[in-house]
Structure 1
Amino acid sequence: MADEPSPNGPPAFDDVFSGGDVEQRVYGTLLQTREPTAASAIADRVDCDPKTARKYLEWFADLGIATRHEGRPTTYERNDAYFEWRRIDRLAADHSIDELRSRVSELAARIAKYEEVYDAASPADVDAVAAAESSDDRTIDDVYSDLADWETARTERERHERARQQLAGTEGEPVPG
C-alpha cells in the first residue's frame, strides 16, 4: 500500500511533520503553504490551538521565513525569497569561488547548446509541438525534457553566479558590474 511507510523508511509524505512538536508541524505546514492562509486553518491542519499557531507564524514572519498579510484575518504564507536567499548563501558557504565560476561556465555552455539547438533565447520562446514535429530525432517528450532542463540550468546559473558574487565580495575579488 502506497500510504504505508516502510518500517525502516521515512514517513509518508502527508505525515512528514506529524511526529514533531507543534513548532515543527506549523513550520512543515507553512513550507507547503503557497497562498495566504489564516492561522486558524494552519492550526486545524497541525491539530493545535489557533493562538499557538499564530505565535509560531508571527515568529516565522519576524525571521523572514513567512510573509504576513494584514487583514481580517491576518494570513501567512511561505516566503520564497527567504528560501532562495538561503540556497544562495549555502552555495557560497559550501563552494569556493573557483568551483562556483566553473559551475557557472558549465551551465552557460549547456544553456548555449539549447539556444543553438532550438534557435531561441529562452525555453519560453520555443513552441514544443512545432520543435518536435520539425525534428527527426526528438519526440515531444524529449523537447519538454530539454525545455525543463534548460530552464533549470538558467535558474541554477543565476544562483551560482549570485553565490560567486556574494563570496567574491567577502574575499575582496572585484565583482563584475
Structure 2
Amino acid sequence: MTDSPGPGSFADINEKVGEEWEAETTPYERVREVISRTYSPVSPETIADDARTSPKTARKHLEALADEGFVTTSTSETGGTLYQRSAESLVVEQAADILSEVSTDDLRERVADMRETVREYQNEFGVESPEELSVAATNDVLSGTGTESETIDEETLREWQTTRRNLAFANAALSIANAQKFVTDDTQPSSGSVSPS
C-alpha cells in the first residue's frame, strides 16, 4: 500500500506549476488570462497576486485591456479602481466559438428551433421570461391566490433560462457572421469597377 501525498506535496506541485506558467508567459499574458475568468469586480492587487506580477504591472495591463474593451472598470467604496471581464468581450468570444463549430446555415436552423422553444414556454406560462414567471409565482403565494404546491419546476425554469441564453449567443454569432460577410463583400471589387491605372 502506498502512502497518499500530504497537503504539503500539493502545495509544492501548485507552486511548481505556477513557476512554470510564470517562466513561459509574459506578465501581460498572465494578467489577461486571469481577468478573462474574472466576472465580478476585483482590485489590481488581487489580479497581480493571481498573475504572479506586481500591482503596478497588473494595473498597466488592465488599463490597456480596458482600452481594448476586454475589461470594464468600476470604483470601489474607497475610491480605487476595480476590474472585471467585460460582458461584450465574453459575448464576442462565445459567438466566435460558435462560428468555429457550426455553419451559419445550421446556426440559423438552431436559432429558429430555440425561438420556437422560447415561444412555447411563453405560451405555456403566460409570461415573457422565466424571471417574470418567478415573480408572478411568488406574488401569487404572497397574495394567497397560489399555494406552495404550485411552485415552478426548477428544472423547467433552468431549461428556459438556458435556452434564452443560448439563443442570445447564437443571435450574436449570426450578427457577427453577417457583419463579416458585409465586410468581405465590401472589400471585393465590384464587376463594374474600374481598376486604377
Q: What is the TM-score normalised by the length of structure 2?
A: 0.61
Corresponding residue for residue 37 of structure 1: 42
Tell which structure's C-alpha radius of gyration is larger.
2
Among all aligned residue pairs of Structure 1 and Structure 2, give the percentage whose two residues are the same amino acid: 24
CA apart distance, 1:66: 1.3
CA apart distance, 1:70: 7.0
Q: CA RMSD, aligned part only?
A: 3.6
Q: Is the contact between residue 67 and residue 77 of structure 1 (CA under 8 Å) also seen in structure 2?
A: yes
Q: Is the contact between residue 40 and residue 84 of structure 2 (CA under 8 Å) also seen in structure 1?
A: yes
Task: Please give the alpha-carbon distance, in whole angstroms, between the structure 1 residues aligned to 2:179 and 2:37.
Answer: 34
Q: Is the contact between residue 68 and residue 75 of structure 1 (CA under 8 Å) also seen in structure 2?
A: yes
Q: Is the contact between residue 118 and residue 131 of structure 1 (CA under 8 Å) also seen in structure 2?
A: no
Which residue type is aligned with residue 58 of structure 1?
E
Task: Please give the alpha-carbon distance, in whole angstroms, between the structure 1 residues aligned to 2:113 and 2:148.
Answer: 26
Question: Number of aligned pairs?
Answer: 156
Corresponding residue for residue 129 of structure 2: 122
- Give the alignment of 1:75-90 within 5 angstroms: 75-90=82-97
1:146 paired residue among 147, 156, 160: 156
- Give the alignment of 1:81-120 within 5 angstroms: 81-120=88-127
Tell me the SS of whatever aligns to 2:83: strand
Tell me the SS of whatever aligns to 2:114: helix
1:107/1:85 Cα in 2 relative to 1: closer, same or farther (>3 Å)? same
Task: Please give the alpha-carbon distance, in whole angstroms, between the structure 1 residues aligned to 2:148 and 2:114.
Answer: 24
Tell me the SS of whatever aligns to 1:20: helix
Task: Please give the alpha-carbon distance, in whole angstroms, between the structure 2 residues aligned to 1:164 and 1:34.
Answer: 25
CA apart distance, 1:125: 2.1
Q: What is the TM-score normalised by the length of structure 1?
A: 0.66
Which residue type is aligned with residue 26 of structure 1?
V
2:175 paired residue among 159, 165, 175: 165
